[in-house]
């Protein structure tokens, strides 16, 4: 049997499923006619058949690559069905805001929760009706960021979690469908998700992202982590640290001038300056500046997370100021141990081979966690099978839905 025949049969099945569930929705809508039903009553009546319809449309989107023409059409159809339900009964997938983030707190780690509160990340959440109430059933946290190596924009999924009592109901699929559709509509052509390969849930993630046509690559995390100890504070690190100054030692004018110098040349710093971050979010002792000759240098902004990790939120430098990076990293290491004691754990983004070599040579007890990266990129042309009859079925039964 050819690939086209397999797709054809699969689309026939999807079309038959849609025909049946549309009849079920029609019957439920008739049942609600003339009655003054509240949100909970409408959800109880309508949620199940609408979720069946959306699930069928999402399976059709996955059948082809979600970036293909047919995949995009199916994602758009699922979004239309969600919108119809939202107008009728309430949200199934909603934007997580400052006002609503607390209802998702049981589904988040402390660090991800903090990132959402200070707008380091965005999130969408799944709401479901059960036992006379609406519950937070799942959440997906993500960020849209520049990829310096690929010179493109990446939508990076940082967190995907579904409450135990709501698993095996297609919630993760709906969250992924929404975020992929949102990214495609914004012109993003690269999606990625990292997870540790030794974690027990790795196989679950592998299966889920495989279904969405993600490809996988194993390797080391692009983040350097080290537990600092006195014996690791080599002479070169201690000397380099003296070339940088902690933010708390700068006057407001000096601080503004240094950050402005970076903002003029680095879009990432411009974005940081626009975020609604509390003034004391970046630790003044750990964050530091290294500037020479006025316009050349760099800035490092660090923050201590609730879990204890000292995380580098930003490491940037001006053109010709690459020398400053080693000084900034050394200052962070020296101050982290001084302020937070032996074995303070710090993290750094590794964006250049030079920085990687410096870290490996001067911090022998570093930790590089093995990771798997799942990446969804635009499909090759031959992955889009030309199936005329399937296109007709998709249009008739999905787009009109």
Residue pLDDT tens, the chain, 401 long:
344 555 556 666 667 777 888 889 999 989 988 888 888 999 999 999 999 999 988 988 888 789 988 788 889 989 999 999 999 999 999 999 999 999 999 999 999 999 999 888 999 999 999 988 999 999 999 999 876 555 678 899 999 999 999 999 999 999 999 999 999 999 888 999 988 777 778 889 999 999 999 999 988 887 888 887 777 677 888 889 999 999 999 888 888 887 787 877 777 777 777 777 887 899 999 999 988 766 678 899 999 998 889 999 889 888 777 788 999 999 999 999 999 988 789 999 888 888 888 888 888 778 877 889 999 987 765 444 445 444 444 544 444 44
Give the Cα separation of 155 and 67 in Å (integer).
14
Residue carrying the six token digits 């690929």: 150
Give the Cα separation of 345 and 207 in Å (integer).
32
Q: In Å, what is the CA distance from 346 to each residue of 94, 146, 158, 310, 314?
A: 34, 23, 19, 5, 13
Extract the tokens encoding 163: 């409450």
| Residue 386 dihedral angles phi and psi, to the nearest 5° | -90, 100
Structure confidence at residue 400 (pLDDT): 43
Structure confidence at residue 381 (pLDDT): 54
Structure confidence at residue 353 (pLDDT): 85
Task: For residue 79, give the DSSP letter.
Answer: H
CATH number at 3-189+378-399: 3.40.630.30
Give the Cα separation of 252 and 177 in Å (integer).
45
Provide DSSP, 252-289: HHHHHHHHHHHHTT-HHHHHHHHS---TTSS-TTT-EE
User: Strands of 296-304's sheet, edge to edge?
Assistant: 245-246, 288-292, 296-304, 310-317, 345-349, 223-227, 366-367
Give the Cα separation of 17 and 12 in Å (integer).
9
Give the Cα separation of 126 and 170 in Å (integer).
11
Indicate the domain borders of the chain: 3-189+378-399, 223-368
Give the Cα separation of 14 and 30 in Å (integer).
24
Structure confidence at residue 380 (pLDDT): 61
User: For domain 223-368, which CATH number applies: 3.40.630, 1.10.3470, 2.60.420, 3.30.70?
Assistant: 3.40.630
- Adjacent-strand bridge partners of 227: 345
Do residues 127 and 94 touch, judged by C-beta distance below 8 A?
yes
Give the Cα separation of 78 and 76 in Å (integer).
5
Structure confidence at residue 237 (pLDDT): 87
Domains 3-189+378-399 and 223-368 are alike in CATH topology:
yes
Q: In Å, what is the CA distance from 363 to each residue of 228, 255, 300, 322, 390?
A: 8, 29, 18, 19, 58
Provide DSSP, 154-200: EEEEEEEEE-GGGTTSSHHHHHHHHHHHHHHHTT--EEEEEEETTST
């Amino acid at each position: 049997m050819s690939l086209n025949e397999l797709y054809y049969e699969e689309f026939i099945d999807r079309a038959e499923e849609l025909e049946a569930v549309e009849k079920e929705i029609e019957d439920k809508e008739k049942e609600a006619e003339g009655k003054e039903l509240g949100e909970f009553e409408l959800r109880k009546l309508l949620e199940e058949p609408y979720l069946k319809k959306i699930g069928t449309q999402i399976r059709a989107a996955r059948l082809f690559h979600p970036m293909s023409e047919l995949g995009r059409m199916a994602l758009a159809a699922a979004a239309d069905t969600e919108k119809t339900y939202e107008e009728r009964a309430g949200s199934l997938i909603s934007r997580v805001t400052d006002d609503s983030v607390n209802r998702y707190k049981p589904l988040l780690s402390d660090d991800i929760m903090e990132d959402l509160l200070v707008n380091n990340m965005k999130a969408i959440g799944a709401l479901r009706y059960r036992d006379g109430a609406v519950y937070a059933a799942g959440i997906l946290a993500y960020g849209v960021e520049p990829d310096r190596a690929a010179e493109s924009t990446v939508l990076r999924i940082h967190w995907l979690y579904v409450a135990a009592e709501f698993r095996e109901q297609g919630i993760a699929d709906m969250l992924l469908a929404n975020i992929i559709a949102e990214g495609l509509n914004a012109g993003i052509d690269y999606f990625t998700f990292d997870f540790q390969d030794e974690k027990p849930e790795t196989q679950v993630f592998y299966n889920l992202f495989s279904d969405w046509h993600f490809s996988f690559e194993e390797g080391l995390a692009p983040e350097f982590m080290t537990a600092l100890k006195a014996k690791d504070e080599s002479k070169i690190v201690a000397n380099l640290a003296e070339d940088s100054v902690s933010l708390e030692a700068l006057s407001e004018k000096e601080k503004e001038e240094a950050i402005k110098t970076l903002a003029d040349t680095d879009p990432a710093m411009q974005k940081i300056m626009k975020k609604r971050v509390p003034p004391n979010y970046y630790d003044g002792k750990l964050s530091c500046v290294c500037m020479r000759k006025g316009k050349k240098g760099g800035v490092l902004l660090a923050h201590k997370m609730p879990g204890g990790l000292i995380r580098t939120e930003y490491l940037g430098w001006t053109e010709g100021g690459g020398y400053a990076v080693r000084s900034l990293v050394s200052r962070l290491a020296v101050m982290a141990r001084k302020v937070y004691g032996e074995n303070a754990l710090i993290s750094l983004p590794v964006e250049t081979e030079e920085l990687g070599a410096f870290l490996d040579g001067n911090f022998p007890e570093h930790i590089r966690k093995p990771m798997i990266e799942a990446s969804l990129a635009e499909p090759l042309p031959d992955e889009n099978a030309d199936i005329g009859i399937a296109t007709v079925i998709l249009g008739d039964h999905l787009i009109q839905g």
